[in-house]
Amino acid sequence: MSGHGFLLANYVPGNSLLHRAPLWLKFLLVVGCGMASFLIVDWAVAAAALVLMCALFLLSGAGVPRLFRAVRPVLPVLAAIGLFQWWQLGAPTAARIVLNVLVCIVAASILTATTPVQRLLDGVASLARPFQRFGADPERFALTIAIMLRSIPFIAGAYSDVRDSARARGLERNPRALILPVFITTVAFARQTGDALAARGLGEHGDEEHAPPASPAAGHAHP
């Protein structure tokens, strides 16, 4: 499958200040931007925040092309949202909503572009560790995030390949020609992932814990 853009930037090796920043600080940046998106009511403030986030991204050494690839997949959706909000609530509100979403995407891209995947997953597991008392498994939670990070670009790539194939056959306007092959490919990918996890014994411990107790008579042969 050919390479395709992915929402959020891939890790870029480097030694910038952002690369050396503690993981918790970068997590805090992402959370702070997400919370700020609900508090910012002026599109000019949102635009200033986006400029700041873009500047931080470029300071990491990731470059303009990676920044564009990080936001490109969501641009058609944002364009549709912006047009609808412009029609319903006016241009300033539409601009504020679109800019706030872009701020969150670029902030998350700073995190993923300056943090190795394994370190990111270790950080996610550490954040989930306090929930062990409620029965949560931090390692499985981190594994879920890893599978998600792998699955999203795969599905996006499958859709892009199917779309190109449908366009070559003149079927780009046929929803069935687009959706059905992507659905089949995604299900096959999910089955392969599940088989790989089962081969590594994931879930066996949990299955044993929840398995029904054996009958006392099961171990005795009938005369």
The per-residue pLDDT for 191 is 77
Is residue 215 pLDDT above 50, yes or no? no
Q: Is the dihedral of CA 140, 144, 149, 150 positive or negative?
A: positive
Q: What is the mean pLDDT of residues 128-138?
A: 75
For the four alpha carbons of 18, 21, 26 and 32, in that order, the dihedral sign comes to negative
Q: What is the pLDDT of residue 51?
A: 92
List pLDDT tens digits, range 52-95.
989 988 888 888 888 888 788 788 888 888 899 899 888 888 89
pLDDT for residue 70: 79
pLDDT of residue 220: 47
What percent of the chain shows pLDDT beyond 90? 4
CA 160 to chain centre: 18
Residue that wins the pLDDT comparison between 55 and 170? 55
Q: Quote the pLDDT of residue 2.
A: 46
pLDDT at 223: 46
Q: Residue 108: pLDDT above 50?
A: yes
Instruction: State pLDDT tens for residues 137-169.
Output: 777 767 776 666 666 666 666 777 777 787 788
State yes or no: pLDDT of 4 exceeds 80. no
Higher pLDDT, 183 or 220: 183
Taking only the tens place, the pLDDT of each residue in 186-212 is 777 777 766 766 666 655 444 444 444
pLDDT at residue 217 above 70? no
Give the predicted TM-score (pTM) of the model: 0.64
